[in-house]
Structure 1
């Protein structure tokens, strides 16, 4: 299948990243499941895709490590011949009032969310063939500005800042670069530690009166990386049900 598009998805072993990987596979992509450490979860995603008739391989990589990321892209090329789509869904969340911020935890957060985004974007910019697409993951918290999210929002602000710049730097390559900024989404990571009252309050904030699902975000990414999204470039799409 020499003409099959090939996607590398980081953070693909769970949550939104997993939904993105399976959606791209369903859209006809061969998918590389990038993951940080959970071998069992990554294999489960590969098995789900292959059971549905798709093509997938797993590649363990720390997104902030340039050697790991290069090897992940090498895996894609060795397995499928090239790379067309890169989605950087890997991320770390830390909640803390700024006055109480643990600076070591801040460094870990920024290593994954900022350095990792740049490492993945740099490799994508070097490797993608014409007609490709890069999608970064941001957050609607940048607009909502919830207390406690200062460090996380700042890290995702960096992702949004690089999006249009990278799109312009790739002028003439026929490669789009966009970011998707989910609102509150019902993932295991998001729901952890929240009581029913808090979840219900968050679910009522969008005019659509529900939390997002990983599939909601995956559908937006599938659009941006598919033929219908070719004229969308350098944008941040806030997929949040109208919460802001």
Structure 2
């Protein structure tokens, strides 16, 4: 993995020898691939050993099996990121099995039941949402960075947190769930910046990939369940907020953006919020 970027024989976005933990590496059932699974598959195709972490161990194992069928290397870890001790256990297990952590992607989000008319929800549901969307990110960032700073060299690791333009704009089609999804993503944005500052001297980078209208299993499911849209209406609602005339992005486009942030090509980038939203967050 040379960082001589001018070499003609250099392989771009080479993750060979790196261990990449994808928190949210499984997915819910659906017709499309999720952001976490797409990122795990792509990281493995570029040479990484991938650790697929999910609350649904069977789904994480499906991702591992797909990677193995591609000739890649991966294993699954079960964890409930709403619990601090589970977040710690993820990285304890990875260090024990793989001996290092080079990349971590936090691709987890939940939308607990929410009363849109009264702008309210049950306290337990609110707390669970915050624990998954924000506190889980905080602990995974902290424990991942603590592992990465043990790596030798000037660039020791990269953290990529999947956020949403729901943390910027309050519109149906952008702000699915409203609370605590959007609130959690606001916190995740700040957590990323804090992590970037705290671990910069150790060579650890942390960046936010802020997603807009992505054709993902979670986005499709929650748009239909929370708002009562048909699959066709989901496409229409999302397309209305996109500036570029291309509809929604695929999760593979999310994965390629994450690949750049994980690879050495982005080694001079940290603490940034990169919008992958088709221009939806532009001022109108």
CA-CA distance at 1:96 after TM superposition: 4.2
Which residue of 24, 41, 53 corresponds with 1:22?
41
8 Å Cα contact 1:208-1:242 kept in structure 2: no
Which residue of 12, 19, 22 corresponds with 2:25?
12
When the two structures are superposed, what TM-score results if normalisation uses the length of structure 1?
Answer: 0.92
* Structure 1 residue aligned with 2:239: 203
CA-CA distance at 1:226 after TM superposition: 0.5
Q: What RMSD, in angstroms, separates the aligned Cα atoms of the two structures?
A: 1.7
CA-CA distance at 1:144 after TM superposition: 2.6
CA distance in 1, matches of 2:201, 2:219: 39
Which residue of 56, 64, 75 corresponds with 2:82?
64
8 Å Cα contact 1:64-1:119 kept in structure 2: no
CA distance in 2, matches of 1:151, 1:69: 20
8 Å Cα contact 2:55-2:79 kept in structure 1: yes
- Kindly report which structure 2 residues correspond to 1:157-196, keeping only aligned pairs within 5 A, or say none: 157-192=186-221, 193=224, 194-195=229-230, 196=232
Shift in alpha-carbon separation, 1:165–1:40, aligned structure 2, 3 A: closer
Count of residue pairs brought into register by the alignment = 241
Higher helix share: 1
Greater gyration radius: 2
Pairing 1:224–2:237 present? no
When the two structures are superposed, what TM-score results if normalisation uses the length of structure 2?
Answer: 0.80
CA-CA distance at 1:69 after TM superposition: 2.3
For residues 41-60 of structure 1, the C-alpha deviation after alignment (integer angstroms, 9 at most, x for no partner) is 22111111111111100000
For residues 185-243 of structure 1, the C-alpha deviation after alignment (integer angstroms, 9 at most, x for no partner) is 11222112122234223124321331121111111110001021111110011111111
8 Å Cα contact 2:145-2:157 kept in structure 1: no
- What 5-or-longer segments of structure 1 have no aligned partner? none
CA-CA distance at 1:71 after TM superposition: 2.4
Bigger drift between 21-30 and 207-216 goes to 207-216
CA distance in 2, matches of 1:28, 1:108: 35
